[in-house]
């Protein structure tokens, strides 16, 4: 399996699939998952002739479980090392949820020289937590309850999240996939508890407003209007107004995991945007 040894000795697991000479699309996964959560999109685009790259964020999946460095600036510096190693250029960057924050901070901090477009899927920017300046956000008490649940019984909490709000399986009449729940649980339990715990603060309290303003390439924002994890009113609707070249597509009735539940539609939207 391919790994990149980073500046601090940590090893980052990554996938580099498809046509090595094709146009490149990179993927950043959500919390507390791994690159496996993008497998449907990666396989689809690889079969269309693209080169697709995804990594397991440090502390997640098959990457090194570091004690420190579980924060956005470290995560995007890791990405810059990976992209330099893989000679990524003229690419499209895609991120879901926490990974959408990673895409936003990467482009805000390291610039857009490697990328020509980006896609944010159910992404956390501009800011998740409720503040005086962000009244649409979620109360900090909710994120505190996540941390408490992880300390009490992480394994059960990591069943409760995908069984309910993540995929929208708690909605009346929603078809439930036991496979999706088990896959989410398996990916989450492979992530270190320290990284998963620290990342709650990272995805909820990081303010990406300045990063959004600096992104000078076209950005497609895909968001479900029934996203119970990252509500569209506090995220997608606000981000698209801040982005200099943002475009929003709303998925009617869509959950937080539209790339899993509405995979065919998301795949088409990605392909159309990449080719346009």
| DSSP secondary structure letters along 31-68 | TT--GGGGHHHHHHHHHTT-EEEEE--TTSTTS---SS
Q: Which 8-state DSSP code applies to residue 131?
A: B
Alpha-carbon gap, residue 74 to 146, rounded angstroms: 23
Helices 39-47 and 263-275: angle between axes, nearest 10 degrees: 50
Residue 237: the pLDDT is 98
| pLDDT tens track for 6-36 | 999 999 999 999 999 999 999 999 999 999 9
Q: Tell me how far apart the 2 most distant CA atoms of the chain are, in Å.
A: 49
Q: Where are the domains of the chain?
A: 3-275
- Per-residue pLDDT tens, the chain, 276 aa: give them: 699 999 999 999 999 999 999 999 999 999 999 999 999 999 999 999 999 999 999 999 999 999 999 999 999 999 999 999 999 999 999 999 999 999 999 999 999 999 999 999 999 999 999 999 999 999 999 999 999 999 999 999 999 999 999 999 999 999 999 999 999 999 999 999 999 999 999 999 999 999 999 999 999 999 999 999 999 999 999 999 999 999 999 999 999 999 999 999 999 999 999 999
Alpha-carbon gap, residue 195 to 197, rounded angstroms: 5
Q: Which member of 55, 60, 256, 259 is catalytic? A: 256
Query: In 3-state terms, what secondary structure has residue 132?
Result: coil
Decide yes or no: CATH 3.40.50.300 for domain 3-275.
no
Residue 189: the pLDDT is 98
- Told to judge if 97 belongs to the known catalytic residues of this protein, a careful annotator would answer yes
In degrees to the nearest 10, what's the CA dihedral of 168, 173, 177, 181?
40
Residue 153: the pLDDT is 98
Cα dihedral 172, 230, 220, 88 sign:
negative
Alpha-carbon gap, residue 243 to 118, rounded angstroms: 11
Residues 79 and 10 sit within 8 Å (Cβ to Cβ): no
- Told to judge if 34 belongs to the known catalytic residues of this protein, a careful annotator would answer no
Note the helical H segments in the chain.
Answer: 39-47, 72-85, 98-110, 140-163, 178-190, 193-205, 209-214, 236-242, 258-261, 263-275
Q: Which member of 28, 97, 192, 204 is catalytic? A: 97
Residue 211: the pLDDT is 98
| pLDDT tens track for 197-238 | 999 999 999 999 999 999 999 999 999 999 999 999 999 999
Alpha-carbon gap, residue 262 to 251, rounded angstroms: 9
Q: Which member of 36, 78, 227, 269 is catalytic? A: 227
């Amino acid at each position: 399996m391919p790994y990149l040894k980073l500046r601090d000795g940590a090893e980052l697991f990554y996938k580099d699939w498809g046509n090595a000479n094709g146009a490149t699309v990179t993927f950043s996964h959500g919390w507390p998952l791994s690159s496996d959560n993008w497998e449907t999109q990666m396989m689809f685009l690889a079969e269309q002739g693209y080169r697709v790259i995804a990594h397991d964020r440090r502390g997640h999946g098959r990457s090194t479980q570091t004690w420190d460095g579980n924060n956005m600036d470290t995560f995007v510096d890791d990405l810059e090392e990976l992209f330099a190693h893989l000679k990524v250029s003229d690419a499209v960057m895609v991120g879901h949820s926490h990974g959408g924050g990673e895409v936003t901070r990467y482009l805000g901090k390291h610039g857009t020289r490697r990328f020509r477009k980006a896609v944010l899927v159910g992404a956390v920017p501009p800011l998740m937590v409720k503040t005086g300046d962000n009244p649409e956000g979620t109360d900090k008490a909710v994120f505190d309850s996540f941390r408490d649940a992880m300390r009490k019984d992480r394994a059960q909490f990591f069943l409760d999240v995908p069984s309910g709000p993540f995929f929208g399986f708690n909605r009346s009449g929603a078809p439930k996939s036991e496979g999706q729940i088990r896959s989410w649980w398996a990916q989450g339990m492979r992530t270190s508890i320290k990284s998963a715990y620290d990342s709650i603060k990272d995805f909820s309290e990081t303010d990406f407003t300045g990063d959004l303003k600096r992104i000078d390439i076209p950005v497609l924002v895909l968001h479900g209007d029934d996203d119970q994890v990252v509500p569209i009113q506090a995220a997608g609707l606000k981000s698209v107004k801040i982005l200099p070249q943002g475009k929003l597509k709303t998925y009617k009735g869509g959950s937080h995991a539209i790339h899993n539940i509405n995979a065919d539609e998301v795949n088409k939207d990605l392909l159309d945007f990449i080719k346009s």
